[in-house]
Amino acid sequence: MSENHAWWRRAVIYQIYVRSFADGDGDGLGDLPGITAHLDHVAALGADAVWITPFYPSPMVDGGYDVADYRDVDPRFGTLADADSLLVHAHELGLRVIVDIVPNHTSDQHAWFQQALAEPGGPARARYVFRDGRDGGATPPTDWRSVFGGPAWQRVPDGQWYLHLFAPEQPDLDWAHPEVVKEFHSVLRFWLDRGVDGFRFDVAHGMAKDLAEPLRDLGPGQVHHKIVGDGWEGDHPFWDRESVHDILRGFRQVTDAYRPPRVTVAESWAALDRRALYTRPDELHQAFNFDFLGAGWGATALRATIDRSIALAETSGSAPTWVLSNHDVIRHASRLCLPEGADHERWLVSGGTQPALDPAAVRRRARAAALLLLALPGAAYLYQGEELGLPEVADLPVDVLQDPVHRRSGGARKGRDGCRVPLPWSRTGPSYGFGTGPGWLPQPDLFGALSVEAQSEDPDSTLSLYRAALRLRRTQPPSAHLSWNPSAPEGVLDFTVGALRCVVNAGHEPALLPASPPPLLTSARLPEAQPLLPPDTAAWLHAQLPGR
C-alpha cells in the first residue's frame, strides 16, 4: 500500500452497510466474514478504501448505531478475530479500512447507562444528560424534539429525564465530562492499534450541547433538526455549536500520534460554510458534502453547489468530498428521477409513498450522475450497490420495516429501510447470493438482473461503467483545479479537471460534442451520425489543454 499521507484527498471510498453487504453464516444478516469474502469485488471495482458501518455489540434498535460496547464485535456480525482477518485481507488487497465511531450517544444497554439507571443521583449520571422535569417532574425539561420524532427526553422510574436526540434507546453523552473524553480517546486507540486506517464520526455536529441552567426551549416554529439546507439560525442549543471543535481537535490529536496518520471524517449536517470549519488543519480531514447529495438534478443548482464546495474546501485547506447516496437517504438512482417540482427535502428521507419511476430513466440518470461524481476533484464516496444502479426499494411491506424513523412517526414516514435492502450477488437463489437463505429485508425480483454476477458479464452494465470510470480516474494526474466551459449551453455541466473534460447533459435538449477525438467514456451509447449528447447522459473527453 502507498504510504502517501494525503491519500484521502483524492480517494474513492466504498461504504459497506454491514447488515446488507454479504451474509457469511446464513442467518440472513450481513457480517464481517461476508465482507471479507467479497472484498475482492471492491478492489476490482477500483476503490481505495472501505468505510464500514458499526459492527459493535448492539440491541440493533437503530441498525447498530446504538452501541453497547465500543471494543468488541456483535456476535451476529462475528468476532474480534473476524475483524482482524478483515483488516489483514483488506490491506493485502490494497484497501484501507475506515470504521464508524458513534460518539454522540450510546445504547441504553451500555454499561455506563445501566449504572446510571441503577444509581439515582449517583456520579454515573453525569456522563449523560439527566435533568429534572418541569411541572413537578411530569413534563420534559425542554421542548426539544428527537430527530426520529417525538420528544427528545425520556423519563426513568425515579422521575428524572434523560436526553436522546435520536431514539429513546440512544441516550446522549455529556461531552463536557472528562471521563467521556478519556473513554473515547481510549476507544480510538483500541482500533488504531488493531490496524484501522481511519474513523468516520457519526453526528459530529451534535456532541456539544448548551446545558447551562435553566435549559432553554427552542419555542414554537423553531427548527429542531434539518436534512439539507442552510443549517440552524443563531445559537442552537445542540447542533453545530462552537465547542464541538475542541472535541474534534482531541480526536485529531489521537489519530495524528500514529504513523502514517489516519484519516478522520465528519458526518455533519451543518450548513456548507459552517461545515468547512470541521476540516480546519487541526480538526478532521474530511466532512461529507450533503449539499451536493441534496442538490437534485439540475445544472444550475449542481454548478452552484460544486463551486461553493470547492471554494470552501480551499479555505480550510482540505479537499472536497462528493457523495450521492448512503444508508440514510433514498438511493440516488431513484431520488434524482423524482418529478420536477417535487419537494426534494421531503424525499431525501422517505416521507410516504414514492411515485412510480421509469426504470430506463432511473438507469440513464444514475449512470450520468456517476460520471459527474467521479470526475470532480477531491474524494468520492460510493454507497454499496450504486455501482449496480440499484434503485430505492419503495414498496417494502410495512410489517418488515425496522427503522426507528418509521416506528417513531407512527407509520407516517417509511424510513430508511428501502436503501438498506441486501445486495444481490448472483442471478438466482433465495437472496440472490447475499446468503444461503432469505435476507433480513426482502429483495425485489429485478435484483437478479442487477446482480454482480449478471452485470460482470455485460460490457454495457452499470458495474462495467463504474469499473471503467475508476480505471480512467486512476490514470489522471491529480488536480484540484476545476474550470468551466463558459460557452456550455443551458442545462449542461461542462468542466475540465486536469487532463479530463466532463460534459453532463442535465437539460432537456441534446448537446453538441466535439467531432473528434472520440469520448473516452460515455454513460450511454451516443448517436453515430453526429456527435450529440442526449439528455441525462454524460461523457468524459480529453481536455483541450493549452499548447495541444
Peptide bond into 517 cis (omega under 30): yes
Q: Where are the domains of the chain?
A: 7-105+178-209+229-467, 111-163, 481-542
At residue 385, the pLDDT reads 98
Is the confidence at residue 356, as pLDDT, over 80?
no
Is the confidence at residue 548, as pLDDT, over 80?
no
d(CA 289, CA 380): 10
267 is catalytic: yes
Is the confidence at residue 351, as pLDDT, over 70?
no
135 is catalytic: no
Is the confidence at residue 352, as pLDDT, over 90?
no
Q: Which of 31, 169, 174, 202 is catalytic?
A: 202
> Residues with Cβ < 8 Å from 513, sequence gap 6 or more?
503, 519, 526, 531, 532, 533, 539, 541
Per CATH, 111-163 and 481-542 having the same topology is answered: no
At residue 346, the pLDDT reads 53
pLDDT digits 0-9 by tens, 195-231: 999 999 999 999 999 999 999 999 988 888 876 666 6
At residue 355, the pLDDT reads 66
d(CA 295, CA 291): 6
Half-sphere exposure of 330 (CA within 13 A, CB side): 29
Peptide bond into 260 cis (omega under 30): yes
At residue 466, the pLDDT reads 98
d(CA 242, CA 244): 5
d(CA 150, CA 168): 10
Nearest to 249 by CA among 337, 310, 327, 185: 185
Q: Which CATH number fits domain 7-105+178-209+229-467: 3.90.550.10, 3.20.20.80, 3.40.50.1820, 3.40.1260.20?
A: 3.20.20.80
Is the confidence at residue 407, as pLDDT, over 90?
no
At residue 479, the pLDDT reads 85
Q: Which of 169, 267, 328, 386 is catalytic?
A: 267
Q: How confident is the model at residue 349 (pLDDT cuts 50, 70, 90)?
A: low
For the chain, what percent of residues have pLDDT higher than 70?
Answer: 94
pLDDT digits 0-9 by tens, 43-56: 999 999 999 999 99
* Architecture of domain 481-542 in this structure: Sandwich (2.60)
At residue 347, the pLDDT reads 52
Taking the whole predicted model, whether its pTM rises above 0.85 is answered as yes
Evaluate whether the domain defined by 111-163 bears CATH number 3.90.400.10.
yes
Is the confidence at residue 93, as pLDDT, over 90?
yes
pLDDT higher for 179 or 149?
A: 179
Whole-Å CA distances, 269 to 29, 173, 316: 29, 19, 17
